[in-house]
Amino acid sequence: MKRIVRHIPVLLPQVLEVLNPQPGQVIVDCTLGLGGHAAEIVSRLRPTGKLIGIDFDPNHIALARAKLLARDPTGQSWALFHNNFAALPTILAEAGIERVDGLLADLGVGSPQIDNPARGFSYRQPGPLDMRMDPTRGQPAATLVNRLSERDLADALLELGDETDAPQIARLIVERRQATPITTTQDLMALVCEARDFTLERAAGAKLHPAARTFQALRILVNRELANLDRLLAVLPACLKPGGTAALISFHSGEDRRVKIAFRQGERDGTYAAISPDPVMAEPEEQETNPRSRSAKLRWARTPRNC
């Protein structure tokens, strides 16, 4: 029987190899999650280094703090910030740090967010159609689904979810919401299945659920994930020390494309001295035990030592 390990950090050995954390260094984890990457990095930075942890989800901050306390109960080697990584320069200034030796960003949604029906990320579990990574700010997915025009919905589903049936899905959403607002994950899931001519029974057994791409697109839209990534890529070089390394893990073609283009452009203009020639992928064993790792792509970039 296949053993599935949940809530484990993706590509952990590869991240540690690329960043190579050393005592005395300062490294930023832009996407704390449950603190899996951060805990291993802190163990290597101690006693004189420091990890700056950032997460948009306040629940993640609390969970990661518990894990980091187990590695360093004094808290001297880490500091956590509830914020968006797009505000990286502001966060570093608040921490009293000018530039860092390394940076990690594990993009996308976390397993705990998907597994909690109340957060509204999952098409497999009934819950409010929310999808906000920070539930204290922004508009939930239900607001966008019931407000956006048919054209805007279709464009978002195609661009952010690679959903080829986007026009049919958007058309049915707009038609049905006129009678009854779409407010739950099950409302939306059933509509997408109908638009794509899937019965609920057939959908449940599909290798890729017919609503998966629609839910992905809405999550990215709700949390402005691509705009935030663009901002991070723009400010990143100025936040790295000479010889500093950035490691970004993406799970969606739109994310990976942005990272690849930014790193290649940076190598051409001298912003980066070296970049990963190809994305680093999970080993077969990790893909077997951690399905989330199958679509993970790690790209890294390193600044010149004399910058």
Separation CA 77–CA 48 (nearest Å) = 7
Phi, psi (rounded to 5 degrees) for 78:
-155, 155
pLDDT, one tens digit per residue, over 170-202 is 999 999 999 999 999 999 999 999 999 999 999
Q: Quote the distance between the C-alpha of residue 120 and its chain's center.
A: 16
Question: In a 3-state reduction of DSSP, which class is residue 86?
Answer: helix
Please calculate the CA angle 301-285-37 and round it to the nearest 5 degrees. Answer: 45
Separation CA 245–CA 5 (nearest Å) = 29
Place of tokens 């990661």: 64
What pTM, to 2 d.p., does this model score?
A: 0.91
Phi, psi (rounded to 5 degrees) for 45:
-85, -25
Q: What is the number of other CB atoms lying within 10 angstroms of the CB of residue 17?
A: 13
DSSP letter for each residue of 181-199: ---BHHHHHHHHHHHTT--
Nearest to 246, CA basis, from 30, 8, 23, 13: 30
What are the CA-CA distances from residue 261 to residues 230, 256, 258, 264, 287 (Å)?
11, 9, 5, 5, 26
Burial class (CB in 10 A: 0-12, 13-18, 19+), 92: buried
Question: In a 3-state reduction of DSSP, which class is residue 61?
Answer: helix
Q: How many residues does the chain have?
A: 307
pLDDT for residue 307 = 63
* Pairing verdict, β 78-82 and 50-55: parallel
Tokens standing for residue 84: 């968006």
Task: Print pLDDT tens along the chain (307 aa).
Answer: 333 334 679 999 999 999 999 999 999 999 999 999 999 999 999 999 999 999 999 999 999 999 999 999 999 999 999 999 999 999 999 999 999 999 999 997 877 788 899 999 999 999 999 999 999 899 999 999 999 999 999 999 999 999 999 999 999 999 999 999 999 999 999 999 999 999 999 999 998 999 999 999 999 999 999 999 999 999 999 999 999 999 999 998 899 999 999 999 999 999 999 999 999 999 999 999 988 899 999 999 999 998 6
